[in-house]
Amino acid sequence: MSHPIEKHEAVSPGKKNELLKNLSVILPRHAILYLPEDLHVYECDGLSAYRQTPLLVVLPESTLQVQQVMKICKHLAIPVVARGAGTGLSGGALPLGNAVLLSLAKLSNIIEIDVANRTACVEPGVRNLAISEAAKPCGLYYAPDPSSQIACSIGGNVAENAGGVHCLKYGLTVNNILKLKMVTTDGDLITIGSNALDSPGYDLLALMTGSEGMLGIIVEITVKLLPIAESAQVLLASFNEIPQAGNAVAAIIGAGIIPAGLEMMDKLAIKAAEDFVHAGYPTDANAILLCELDGNSEEVSEKISEVENIMLEHGACDVRIAQNEQERELFWKGRKAAFPAVGRLAPDYYCMDGTIPRHRLSEVLQTIETLSREYGLPVANVFHAGDGNLHPLILYDANKPGELEKTEELGGKILEFCVEVGGTITGEHGVGIEKINQMCVQFTSTELQQFHAIKHAFDPDRLLNPGKAVPTLHRCAELGAMHVHNGELPFPELPRF
């Protein structure tokens, strides 16, 4: 398999012993894992095609312990890979053989729910859904809702700038957090942002969000909470043609309606979801749209019939409005279970995460279909249609020799096409190690250099998650995949052989 991590020097047994000795002074016995059978569970994150045994795993139980771990690692020049719940889909939390894997799972307290200011202060290991559950008795919730919300951690959400089906209206993680406490590579604790709506100085909160464990370890997060909407209604529209569904999406937005969620699924995804959870999806349709509106009851009823008309005008062959809460949940269940449902169709699936300008949707899906045929690998499409975030799911069998490589190549081509139409290689899953090569396509060498300079400002010794998220210029040059920018040769500064 094409393991994309760059080679690094192994840690000598002597140094490993010294590390263990130092760590055992500050951590309880059970918080350090080093036996092969204990390390096994940490070999990969949600992108299980890539695996690597970490040097060792630590599970600190306090901020102070995190600080001490960082100080020890800095002193011994041992890299550190942060891990939340390990649900990431880009290999961001993939261990390195020469690095400590720092799990934040034990930092899982909800510190405070401030009802008057509508905020929750939590530790990074708290699960996304647990915040909304804790806030529910106060009539509040945390808006960003990744499909993995039962499992993923809020720290991981910040590190990836996670999104969810409700992000069109309520924003991504970056729009829903106020304050972070972060441990630097030196082991210092700093506070970024505040409980007010803004803070003096640079917007480091934005910079930290989506930084994939490359700039610091997040140890506390203050999130915004919203009042639970008085009413929510969902509508399911079926289409015979994908472009019709695409046009309906544009028309809804064009009519000045911002739905709470607006999701599209194609035929293969519909069928898989229906077989899996029996949500009542029309298996003969080529596309469905799920459109949810929320807010004041009167307004929701008014707008839902407006949306119904728009769907019909744009060729929907069937439109159904969920008649009660139970049916509403069922409609969503199919969408939320789409990944595992598609996963049942083949031994393995590979989830892509491109974003495109919505009006290029038909063209992009057409290209995906052509590529899918060319490679002989089926692709199901799940689409956050409202904000243009496309998840093509490639079905393959890792046990067939060469098929994973073929899948990766197909995935790479899909992402490159997303960039070509003015989109991006990742909307919400992050670059991690998975999309490191495509970064060379999306950014010029000077842009990548700027990213490295930012990394250097936080982590001059490259100890935090090294080798992830931003490729070295050398790597890009070797790939030769660089686009020619303004007629200039990529990397003129590098020698060519």
Ligand X SMILES: Cc1cc2nc3c(=O)[nH]c(=O)nc-3n(C[C@H](O)[C@H](O)[C@H](O)COP(=O)(O)OP(=O)(O)OC[C@H]3O[C@@H](n4cnc5c(N)ncnc54)[C@H](O)[C@@H]3O)c2cc1C
User: Which residues contact ligand X (rule: CB under 6 A)?
Assistant: 45-46, 81-89, 92-93, 104, 124, 146-148, 152-153, 155-157, 159-160, 162-164, 212-213, 217-218, 339, 428-429, 465
Partner touching 134 among another protein, ligand X, none, CB below 5 to 8 Å by kind: none
Which one of the spans 32-40, 41-49, 59-67, 441-449 is the region binding another protein (CB under 8 A)?
441-449
- Contact partner, 81, from ligand X, another protein, none, Cβ < 5-8 Å per class: ligand X
- 3 state SS of 154: helix
Of the candidates 60, 79, 163, 411, which one interacts with another protein according to CB under 8 A?
A: 163
Return d(Cα 97, Cα 115) in angstroms, integer: 45
* 192 interface partner picked from another protein, ligand X, none, CB below 5 to 8 A per type: another protein
Q: Indicate which of another protein, ligand X, none lies near residue 221 (CB less than 5 to 8 Å, by partner kind).
A: none
Instruction: Please tell me whether residue 484 binds another protein under the rule CB under 8 A.
Output: no
CA 321, chain centre distance (Å): 30
Quick one: tokens of 16? Answer: 């490993």
454 binds, among ligand X, another protein, none (CB under 5 to 8 A by kind): another protein
Six-digit token pair at 326? 């139970």
**Residues 6 or more apart from 470 whose CB is under 8 A from it?**
214, 431, 436, 439, 448, 451, 452, 455
Q: Is 305 among the residues that bind another protein (CB under 8 A)?
A: no
What is the spatial distance between Cα 87 and Cα 83, in angstroms, rounded to a whole number? 9
Of 167, 177, 269, 321, the one binding another protein by CB under 8 A: 167
In angstroms, what is the minimal distance from the CB of 381 to ligand X? 15
CA dihedral sign, ordered 338, 342, 348, 349: negative
Question: Mask 457-476, x = binds another protein (CB under 8 A)?
Answer: xx----------xx------
User: Which of 314, 429 has the CB closer to ligand X?
Assistant: 429
Tokens 């401030």 identify what position? 114
**Per-residue binder mask for another protein (CB under 8 A), 353-392, x = binder:** --xxxxx------------------------x-xxxx---
Q: Which is nearer to another protein, 41 or 457 (CB)?
A: 457
Q: In the bound complex, what is the minimum distance in angstroms from residue 434's beta carbon to ligand X?
A: 11
Task: Provide, rounded to whole angstroms, the least separation between the CB of residue 172 and ligand X.
Answer: 8
Interatomic CA distance for residues 94 and 53, integer angstroms: 9
Q: Which residues of 320-346 are buried (b: 16+ CB within 10 A; e: fewer)?
A: bbbeeeebbebbbebbbbbbebbbebb
Q: Please, what is the minimum distance in Å from the beta carbon of residue 261 to ligand X?
A: 11
- Select from 177, 126, 194, 184 the least CA-distant residue to 155: 126
Minimum distance, C-beta of residue 435 to another protein, in the bound complex (Å): 7
Judged by CB, which is closer to another protein: 55, or 183?
Answer: 183
Whole-angstrom CA distances from 403 to 43, 341, 369, 398, 412 are 22, 21, 18, 6, 14
Nearer to another protein, 174 or 242 (CB): 174
Smallest gap from Cβ 277 to another protein, in A, equals 26
Burial class from Cβ neighbours inside 10 Å (0-12, 13-18, 19+) for residue 159 reads buried
Which C-beta is closer to ligand X: that of 387 or that of 428?
428
Pairing assessment for the beta strands 226-227 and 189-193 based on DSSP bridges = unpaired
Could you tell me the maximum CA-CA distance found in the chain, to the nearest angstrom?
72
What x/- string results for residues 51 through 70 when contact with another protein is judged by CB under 8 A?
--------------------
Assess 171 for contact with another protein (CB under 8 A).
Answer: yes
Q: Locate tokens 């290029």: which residue? A: 360
Could you say whether residue 172 binds another protein (CB under 8 A)?
yes
Contact between 199 and another protein by CB under 8 A: the answer reads: yes
Say how far apart CA 309 and CA 315 lie, in whole Å: 10
What is the spatial distance between Cα 473 and Cα 311, in angstroms, rounded to a whole number?
A: 48
Question: How far is it, in rounded angstroms, from Cα 200 to Cα 433?
Answer: 34
CB of 215 to another protein, least distance (A): 8
Among 68, 209, 381, 465, binds another protein (CB under 8 A): 209
Question: Measured from the CB of residue 427, what is the shortest distance to ligand X in angstroms?
Answer: 8
Q: Which is nearer to ligand X, 66 or 300 (CB)?
A: 66
Work out whether 334 is an interface residue with another protein (CB under 8 A).
Answer: no
Neighbour order of strands in the sheet with 32-33: 32-33, 56-58, 100-103, 80-83
The nearest distance, CB 236 to another protein, in angstroms, is 22
Residues 180-216 as b/e (b if ≥16 CB within 10 A, e otherwise) read bbbbbbebebeebbeeeeebeeeebbeebbbbbbbbb
- Rule CB under 8 A: say whether 141 interacts with another protein: no
Residue count at the site for another protein (CB under 8 A)? 89
